[in-house]
Structure 1
C-alpha cells in the first residue's frame, strides 16, 4: 500500500498491521470435514500491495499477502502468545543478556536455498536499521551474530522484557541475505520476494491481481495446533488469487455472485451481510484503534498543546462513531489503545480525557493558540479506506461550527503517507487506524509516532525504557497504564473508538480460522 516511504513513515510500521500477528488455524473444525487439496481461492483486497517487502512497506494488504510467503523466528498464536516458528528451540542466559536460537533444519527458501543463520542475521540487522520497531529495540542490542550455520545469538546491553514478542512482530520476516545487499529504502523488487512460507509468488498484474502458488518444498512444523500465525501450515490450496476491488458495492456483489470467496468489508456492510444466509460472517480477533493525529511539528497549528486539547474537546466522538461505525456490535467507545482481548496492554488510563466534550471551551483554547475564525486547518486523508475520509469530513463539520475553515486533501493511501512525511509542517491533522492487538510498546504507533508527527519526548522515552526493564507481567502492566495516561496528556493521537473487524466469505471456504487474510490451512468444498 505504500510505494516510497522515508524512515519517518516507518513510524507507522504497525499501522493497519492486523495481520502482522495473525494467520489461519491449523486445520478445520470437525464440521468442515476432511481437507480437500487443490483449487484456487479468490480473495478481494481494497488496494494493490505495491511492494512485497514487509520492512519497507508494512501496510495491511502487503502484510496479509506477505504472511503467506515469509516467516519469522517467532510467530504469535491465536491468543497473541509468541511461539517458535523458524526456531527449533532457544535458551536465555541467567542474566537475560544472551539469547541463543537454534534454527529448524530442512527449511528452504522458495528458490531452494537452505535457511541459514546468515539470512537471519542479515534480516534482523535490516530490521534494526529500517523498521521503526527495530530502531527502538537497537539501543538495547550489543550484537546479532551467527554462531554457526544453524545458530543465531543476540547479545543485549541490558535486559529487554518484550524481546521475544518483538521478534514475533512486523518487520522481522526472514529473507535471503543475498537479496538484501544494497536494497533501496523503497524495498526490493518482485524478483527478490522470496521467503520460506507455504506459498510463493506466481504472477502479479500490478493494480489488478496477485497470485500465490503452493511452494512444493515447504517444510512445516509438525502438528502444533497453535492457531494464529503459528504452528503447522498445510497449504491445501493450489493457488490464492488476490483481486484488487476498491468499490464497496462491487466487493459485496462479487461475494454474492461468487466472483470472490473472501472479503473484509467496511463496518457499514456488516448488518446486511450478517442477515444474508448465503454468506458466512465472522468477527476477527483484536481490531482497529481509530485515531485522529494532530501534527506537533513547527508549521502546524497543532504544535501548540492548547490547540490539541481544543481538538479533543471539540470532537463529539459518539456522534462521529454513530455516523461511521456501522453496527454497535463492531464499535467499542473507549480511549484505550489496545483491544480488551489484549489483556497485557488494555488500559482505562486517560478515559476521562477521551470522554471530555466541550465545544465552547475548545473555541476559547483555539483562540488562545492563535486559531480564530477564518483560520484554515489542513487535513490530509485518503479514501482507500473509506472511514478515513468520512472522519475528515466530520472533523471539518465540527470546525466549521465554530468558524474555522478546513482544507481537505485526499490521496491514495501511499501518496497520503508520502505527503505527511515529505512535508513535516505542511499539514495539521490526519486520520488513520492502528492494530490494537500488538504485544510491545515499540510496536504500537500510538506510542511511536514521533517520527511522523514530532511527538517524541524525554518523558515518553523514559516510560518506554521503564517497560523494557520490567521483570514481571504486573510491572509491565503498571507501565502500560502510565504510557497510555501520558499519551492522553500530550494528545499525540486522539482515539475516536475501537472497531472490531470481521470477514465475510463463501460457505465453500472450509478450515478458515477467522484470522484475516491468511489461508494456508483452508480449502474449498465442492
Structure 2
C-alpha cells in the first residue's frame, strides 16, 4: 500500500461519524504534535560517527551546545553562563548555567563537558587545532571547567560552537568516555527534546518528546541555534516518505506540517496552495565541489587540474541541481561561502571568463593528459550528487577524456573514495559532493581545503605546502582584517594549484503549512516554532 493511501485512510477514519470521540482527540494531538518530513531517515543516531546533516539535525533536538552560532554566524553562550580569559589568552575558564540536567536526571557537570570535548576533538579539524595548543582540560568544580593552552588560540569560541558535522555536543561523562569509533549505546543529552527509542521505526519514523526538565536561557534573541530554546510542542514526529510526490501530497492534505527539502519540480504545486509557505531555508546555502585524486594521473598534475577548472561552468552544475530560478543558484563562487566574512571575488577570473572547450581540449594535451582512463565516482541515490556527476561526466568527455562513470549508492561511494590505490585497482580519480555553507566559511573548517597529503589531507590527498602554510597563517592572524587578507591570498593561490573544483552554490526552500509561526531560519530546529491558535 502506498503511504499516501495509508495516510489518507487515517484521515478518513479519524473523521468517521461512527467514532465521535476521535475528532476531538485527533485535534488535541494535532495541536501538541509537530509532524515533520526530514531529508532522509536518521540511520545513524550518534552525531560523532557520521557527517550526515540529518543526524546533526536529530542531535540538535536531543543534545545541547556550550555556545550556539547565531544568524550572523557569531558564537553566543548557550549552556555556558560566561567565561573568563587570563594569562595572556592561555587560560580559559567556563561556567555552566544553573539547573542544566541530562535526560537521565543527572546534572550537567564540568567533567561531562571535559569528556565530551575530548571525545569530539580528534574527529574534527577545529578540535584537533585546539588540542594541539592545549596543555590541559580539567573540571574545576561541578559547574566549571578550564582549558589551559600552551599558546593563545583565537578561535576558541568558534571551536566550542562548532555546528557543521561533527558538531560539538555535550554528553554525560559515562557515555563520552566510551570508544568514539563506536556508536553510542543510548541517546541521552540535555537538550530540549528526549529521543523516544520505543517509537522509532527504522526507515519510517523517529519521535522526540519535549524535555520537561529543560531550562531555556532567560535572555537573548532566538537566532540560528543561539538564544532561548523554548518548546511549544509536546512531540515532534519525523516521518520518512517513500518519494517526493507522497511528501507533497501529505503536506497539502494536512497530514504533515513541514517538509524540510521539497524538490524544485514540486515547488509550483506547493506554491499554488495558499495554505503552504515555501520560504528560503536561510541566507546560507550549499556549495558544490569537485574532488580530484592528486595521487594518480591525470589530476596529479596541477596544469591538468587548472584546465578542468577553466573549462567548467558553475552555472551548468548549479542549474542541473536546482533549476534556473536565479534566487536559488549563485555562480562566480570561490572557496568560501558567499555572504560570509572570508568570501571575495579575488582571483576568480578562471571561473568567470568565457569558456572555450576546443581550446581546453588542446590545453589538456599540452598539460600532460595522455589518454588515461578517468574513474568518476557518483552517488546515484542522491539526486543532487547524481546531477553533478552527470554534468562532470559530460564535461570530461567533451574535453576528450576516457571516462568510466562509476555510479553506485552513497555508501559504496564513501567506501571507495577512501581507497588510495590506482584507479584500475579499485581506486578513483574524481567525484562531486556538496557542503553546507557552515562547513565552507573559513580555511580551517573547510575540509576540502586540507592539503597535507596522505597524512592529513582530505580524500584525494592533495600535498600543497603553500596552501597549508596560508591556512596556518590564517589561524594565527591577529584580527579579522588580517584573516581576510590571507583568505584572499589563499583563494588566488588555490586558483593556480587547484586543490579542488568550486562548482557554485545553491539555495533551498523549505515548505510548511501556514499555521506554523516563528520558524527559526537557516536550520531545521524545533524550538521557538508554534502553531497559531
TM-score by length of 2: 0.85
Gap runs ≥5 in structure 2? 1-28, 452-456
Find the residue that maps to 2:65 and give its secondary structure: coil
Partner of 2:413: 416
Find the residue that maps to 1:183 and give its secondary structure: coil
Q: Structure 1 residue 200 and structure 2 residue 188: aligned? A: no
In structure 2, C-alpha distance between the alignment counterparts of 1:424 and 1:42, rounded to whole Å: 46
Partner of 1:218: 214
Partner of 1:261: 257
Q: How far does residue 460 in structure 1 lie from its aligned partner after superposition?
A: 2.3
Partner of 1:161: 154
Q: How far does residue 38 in structure 1 lie from its aligned partner after superposition?
A: 5.2
- The answer to whether the 8 A contact 1:221-1:232 is kept is yes
Q: How far does residue 369 in structure 1 lie from its aligned partner after superposition?
A: 5.5
Q: 1:226 to 1:324 in 2, by over 3 A?
A: closer
Find the residue that maps to 1:328 and give its secondary structure: coil
Partner of 2:26: none
Partner of 2:434: 433
In structure 1, C-alpha distance between the alignment counterparts of 2:495 and 2:47, rounded to whole Å: 30
Q: Structure 1 residue 90 and structure 2 residue 83: aligned? A: yes
Q: Structure 1 residue 137 and structure 2 residue 137: aligned? A: no
Q: Where do residues 497-508 of structure 1 align in structure 2 (5 Å cutoff)?
A: 497-508=504-515
Q: Structure 1 residue 523 and structure 2 residue 530: aligned? A: yes
TM-score by length of 1: 0.86
- The answer to whether the 8 A contact 2:316-2:391 is kept is no
Partner of 1:445: 447
Partner of 2:403: 406
Q: Structure 1 residue 464 and structure 2 residue 463: aligned? A: no
The Cα offsets for residues 102-156 of structure 1, whole Å up to 9 and x where unpaired, read as 1112101111111111111111112222223312332222221212221111122
In structure 2, C-alpha distance between the alignment counterparts of 1:37 and 1:380, rounded to whole Å: 44
In structure 1, C-alpha distance between the alignment counterparts of 2:274 and 2:30, rounded to whole Å: 26
Partner of 2:32: 39
Q: Where do residues 216-365 of structure 1 align in structure 2 (5 Å cutoff)?
A: 216-245=212-241, 247-263=243-259, 264-283=261-280, 284-296=282-294, 298-299=295-296, 301-326=298-323, 327-342=325-340, 344-356=341-353, 357-365=355-363
- The answer to whether the 8 A contact 1:47-1:246 is kept is no
In structure 2, C-alpha distance between the alignment counterparts of 1:204 and 1:456, rounded to whole Å: 44
Structure with the bigger RCO (C-alpha within 8 Å, sep 6+) is: 1
In structure 1, C-alpha distance between the alignment counterparts of 2:58 and 2:143, rounded to whole Å: 27
The match for 2:181 among 182, 185, 188 is 185
In structure 2, C-alpha distance between the alignment counterparts of 1:67 and 1:291, rounded to whole Å: 26
Q: 1:235 to 1:258 in 2, by over 3 A?
A: same
In structure 2, C-alpha distance between the alignment counterparts of 1:340 and 1:498, rounded to whole Å: 8
Find the residue that maps to 2:527 and give its secondary structure: coil
- The answer to whether the 8 A contact 2:314-2:332 is kept is no
Q: Structure 1 residue 55 and structure 2 residue 52: aligned? A: no
The Cα offsets for residues 155-204 of structure 1, whole Å up to 9 and x where unpaired, read as 22222222211210133111111113332524323x2x211110111032
The Cα offsets for residues 221-261 of structure 1, whole Å up to 9 and x where unpaired, read as 11322421011111111111122236332332332222322
- The answer to whether the 8 A contact 1:289-1:337 is kept is no
In structure 1, C-alpha distance between the alignment counterparts of 2:407 and 2:498, rounded to whole Å: 24
In structure 2, C-alpha distance between the alignment counterparts of 1:456 and 1:180, rounded to whole Å: 34
Q: 1:462 to 1:197 in 2, by over 3 A?
A: same
Q: 1:38 to 1:106 in 2, by over 3 A?
A: farther
- The answer to whether the 8 A contact 2:224-2:521 is kept is no
Q: Structure 1 residue 121 and structure 2 residue 122: aligned? A: no
Q: 1:317 to 1:251 in 2, by over 3 A?
A: same
- The answer to whether the 8 A contact 2:291-2:448 is kept is no
Gap runs ≥5 in structure 1? 1-35
C-alpha RMSD of matched pairs (Å): 2.3
- The answer to whether the 8 A contact 1:117-1:149 is kept is yes
- The answer to whether the 8 A contact 1:38-1:236 is kept is no
Q: How far does residue 370 in structure 1 lie from its aligned partner after superposition?
A: 5.2
How many aligned positions are there? 486
Q: 1:369 to 1:50 in 2, by over 3 A?
A: farther
The Cα offsets for residues 318-341 of structure 1, whole Å up to 9 and x where unpaired, read as 233333332111111122333333
Structure 1's consecutive aligned runs of 4 or more residues displaced over 6 angstroms after TM superposition are: none
In structure 2, C-alpha distance between the alignment counterparts of 1:314 and 1:235, rounded to whole Å: 50
In structure 2, C-alpha distance between the alignment counterparts of 1:267 and 1:82, rounded to whole Å: 33
Find the residue that maps to 1:301 and give its secondary structure: coil
- The answer to whether the 8 A contact 2:62-2:193 is kept is yes
- The answer to whether the 8 A contact 1:309-1:365 is kept is no
In structure 1, C-alpha distance between the alignment counterparts of 2:515 and 2:93, rounded to whole Å: 44
In structure 2, C-alpha distance between the alignment counterparts of 1:484 and 1:427, rounded to whole Å: 26
Looking at CA atoms only, which structure, 1 or 2, has the larger radius of gyration? 2
Find the residue that maps to 2:99 and give its secondary structure: coil
In structure 2, C-alpha distance between the alignment counterparts of 1:235 and 1:489, rounded to whole Å: 50
